[in-house]
Amino acid sequence: MKTLSLFTILFAVASALPSIRNDRIWGGDNAMPGQAPYMVGFLRYQPLTIDQPFNYCGGSLVNEWWVISAAHCLDFNLPETARLEIVAGQHFIALEKRSGNEQFRNISFYIFHPNFGGGANSYDIVLVRPNAPFVFNSFVQPIRLASQSPQPPQTGVVRAFGWGSVTGTPPPILADQLNTVLLSVMRNDLCREVLNAIFPGHPLSSSCLCTLRFETTGNVCNADSGGPAVIEENGEPVLAGVLAWSPSCTAVDLPTVWSGIALPSSRNDRIWNGENATPGQAPYMIGLLVYRITIEQPLTFCGGSLINEWWVISAARCLFGNLPSTDRLEIVAGQHFVELDKRSGNEQFRNISLQIIHPNYEAGGLNYDIALIRPNAPFVFNSFVQPIRLASQSPQPPQIGTIRAFGWGSITDSLPSVSADQLKTVMLSVMRYDLCREVLNAILPGHSLSSSCMCTLRFETSGNVCTRDFGGPAVIEENGEPVIFGVFSWGSGLCSAIDLPTVWSGIGPVRTWIDQTIQANS
């Protein structure tokens, strides 16, 4: 296992150094339950050798579907007798001390940073997707990622968390509960100079964050890898780095290296939802709005398409679940700009009178992610509000060609997502169903893709649909007339990836159900 062998090497280096205060709790002080609700543990179950899972790495929850950690935590071959899990809401390690706040998930798939080369590397970052979303509460919450910048912080302090070693000498003894420690940030140029002296030939990238322990406090250590370096901005915790490696837990003059979060993006000027649409370009476009007492204006959280004055089609996932009693939903036609002060007067707002989810849809699934919505009053057609024609009944959606998508979703290729302030549009390439299914089987085992689905890939030089574009249309022109062939259902969460497909629920295969449902409820 590469994770353990790496630290074995590092401990060998540390053993050759003078031991300083080896009675120190090197993971730091005990954290308070709920102090770091974004903290995630990586568990390894090895039933033949240990009674309970081994918490071998840490990570940070960045939204309900994604965890960020160190790439070397997953860069190894797992024996057949072992299995991995990730856990949020964990404080104590021992089985008998579990609080009931823990949420356990299997790993659906993970994606290494493309520049990660294994071992002690400057881009030791991995994104991990669980098999089901985490549920937020007071013990499970996401952390905000540092804003994009050329370099991580060069001064100040960071707070680290982990369940790593509480001893400063080998063999490591892991903490029985979450620990925390404050560390001093070291300038990258000074850090590089020190590391070049002891590790010649391993240049340190400017994307890395370095820290030193304070003389009178502890440090991160074994099994803390992947855990967060946290700074505070306006009282809010922000993730600045991911623990990559350290030559020593105890030494006060040897730096610890973290992979910086604020990495320069290779395409940081990309608008991932595409170009600005022109007002009236997609008069069939519908926004699903949620009004919350915690935000000043409604959030356009999903899209949809107007198919006649009484009916809207969208994604079932947009309506599946319990709405908090303090929230309310609306649908809007004729919207272009999102902000209240930019509204044109062409908007038509309606409450939802009835919603019907396709009977074959399963929560969180890929297939039949279709819903029909009936407003409390009909929409009035004009140049900014018009229906779109549905694709004809067919056993399968298109397998080649291009589609045009629209939405008010995320315009950033990083977390947290930033939604568009106006309607966006992008062209996407249709992917053959058999190829799409092969890719998805590899990254989402157990989620069989129905032939009723349509798949797309983004073009290398253009954008993609992203968060909060769900329910929006895949549009193809037939004889100069726009036709809806799909409803946006699922994306990997990496909007910029050119080799991960986006999944749409096809209209043709469910056209009969749509027609019959509308007729029965009109």
What fold does the segment set 275-520 form as a domain? Thrombin, subunit H (2.40.10)
Give me the residue label for tokens 């991911």.
Answer: 242
Residue of 424 and 172 predicted with greater confidence: 424
What fold does the segment set 2-260 form as a domain? Thrombin, subunit H (2.40.10)
Amino acid 271: pLDDT: 29
Averaged pLDDT, 420-439: 89
pLDDT at 162 > cutoff 70: yes
Q: For residues 72 and 244, is the Cβ–Cβ distance under 8 A? A: yes
| Identical fold, 2-260 and 275-520 | yes
Residues facing 258 on adjacent strands: 209, 243
Tens of pLDDT, residues 9-22: 233 333 333 332 22
Amino acid 164: pLDDT: 84
Q: For residues 370 and 512, is the Cβ–Cβ distance under 8 A? A: no
Burial label, 167 (beta-carbon count in 10 A; 0-12, 13-18, 19+): buried
pLDDT at 197 > cutoff 60: yes
Tens of pLDDT, residues 357-405: 999 998 777 899 999 999 999 999 999 999 999 999 999 999 988 999 9
Residue in 293, 32, 226 with CA at minimum distance from that of residue 139: 32
| Average pLDDT over the chain, rounded to an integer | 83
pLDDT at 246 > cutoff 70: yes
Domain positions in the chain are 2-260, 275-520
Predicted model pTM: 0.55
